[in-house]
Amino acid sequence: MADKNRILTFLIHLIGWGLVFGFPLFFTWKEGNPMTWVKFGGYVSVPVAFMIVFYANYFIFIDRMLFRKQLLLFVVTNLLLFIVLSFCLHWWQEFYIHCVDDTPKEPRRFPPRSVFIIRDGCMMALMAALSLAIRMTENWYIIEREKKELENARSEAELQNLKNQLNPHFLFNTLNNIYSLIAIDPDRAQFAVHDLSRLLRHVLYEDNQRFVSLDQELNFMKSYIELMSLRLSERVDLKVRLLEDGKGLLVAPLLFITLIENAFKHGVAPIAPSFIHISLEWLEPAGIRCYIENSYFPKKESDRSGSGIGLENLRKRLELLYPGKYFLRTEREGDKFVAELVIQI
């Protein structure tokens, strides 16, 4: 990208100076007065002086003086350059007219040479201002690009930090479920540990990507729900309706699983009838809606280890990954808890 920008800048400068140097050709062609090399040599000294002013500021004065807050030195240096070049132009044109250009000249009255010196000095000042404007604009674009790169790096670091918090939290809650299953059915607990290893492979390795395929995430959600349902009693009404096909779309990993995990953690009571209803469906025109209802059995203070980390991280990740393209609602409605997440993909 940097090489392309440099090539584009070079082409713009080349075209601009080509127009300046070719300026007299347009008028001599219209007036039927052909341009000769001798005539062109008398004209070319002026744009050469302008180029010296432009690039002296572009490459040297602006960086070494103006950007280092040496404004007075910058102004004085430019004024000295204007004066030197103006008198050099005056001397060169006098020499060129009398010693090089032997074209017959009609006698005409010209303004004093000081008028031309002042004119050339003003044009050089405009060249310096143009150089400053272009250089400031380029510098602004560079600063904005660096700010954007820094912001992206900060966002990536924050996302990685959230993932590092989320993975131990996920493992902690899952191990708690397996621990409670050991007392009920050791054989099923052993199967659950094997199933957990497959889930951790997804969390630790495939989750390193910023986005994964929706099909991968659906398989992970199904495996997790199967693992969590092993310890559910007949008093728990579990209904699951997930998408059958991800249609090749990409989604950030472990977004929906946070809500599902929360439902299993707070929606099941040891002896009371309870329910968990999970739905993941398409939402037109290009969105996914996760809607979960579960019975509400809030944990006691002594059993709230890690509580709230998952939902808090979920909100932060959504803001970083889908700013302005998501809707999240988690609230209690009577004796049930409702979680709804809509993502525009």
* Domain co-membership, 237 together with 284: yes
pLDDT tens-place values along the chain, 345 residues long: 667 777 888 888 888 888 888 777 666 555 555 666 666 666 788 889 999 999 999 999 999 999 888 999 999 999 999 989 988 888 887 777 767 655 555 555 556 767 777 888 888 999 999 999 999 998 888 888 878 876 766 766 665 655 555 556 666 767 777 777 777 777 777 777 777 777 777 666 655 677 889 998 898 888 888 888 877 888 899 999 999 898 889 998 888 988 998 898 888 887 788 999 999 999 887 799 999 999 988 766 555 444 456 788 888 888 888 999 999 999 999 889 999 999 997
* Domain co-membership, 108 together with 239: no
CATH number where 324 lies = 3.30.565.10
Q: Phi and psi of 252, rounded to 5°?
A: -65, 140
* Domain co-membership, 42 together with 110: yes
> In this structure, is residue 13 part of a structural domain?
no
* Domain co-membership, 189 together with 336: yes
> In this structure, is residue 297 part of a structural domain?
yes
Calpha distance 173→196 (Å, rounded): 12
Calpha distance 324→265 (Å, rounded): 29
* Domain co-membership, 141 together with 202: no
* Domain co-membership, 196 together with 257: yes
Burial status of residue 327 (CB atoms within 10 A of its CB: 0-12, 13-18, 19 or more): middle
Please give the residue range of the domain that contains residue 91: 36-147
Domain boundary among 147, 176, 202: 147
* Domain co-membership, 57 together with 194: no
35: left (phi over 0), alpha (psi -120 to 50) or beta: beta
* Domain co-membership, 264 together with 311: yes
Identify the pLDDT of residue 28.
56
Q: What is the 3-state secondary structure (H, E, C) of 262-321?
A: HHHHHCCCCCCCEEEEEEEEEECCCEEEEEEEEECCCCCHHHCCCCCHHHHHHHHHHHHH
> In this structure, is residue 179 part of a structural domain?
no
Angle between helix axes 23-31 and 37-56 (nearest 10 degrees) is 150
Question: Domain tally for the chain?
Answer: 2
* Domain co-membership, 239 together with 306: yes
> In this structure, is residue 31 part of a structural domain?
no
Residue type, 219: N
* Domain co-membership, 107 together with 255: no
> In this structure, is residue 89 part of a structural domain?
yes
* Domain co-membership, 330 together with 192: yes
> In this structure, is residue 173 part of a structural domain?
no
* Domain co-membership, 224 together with 309: yes
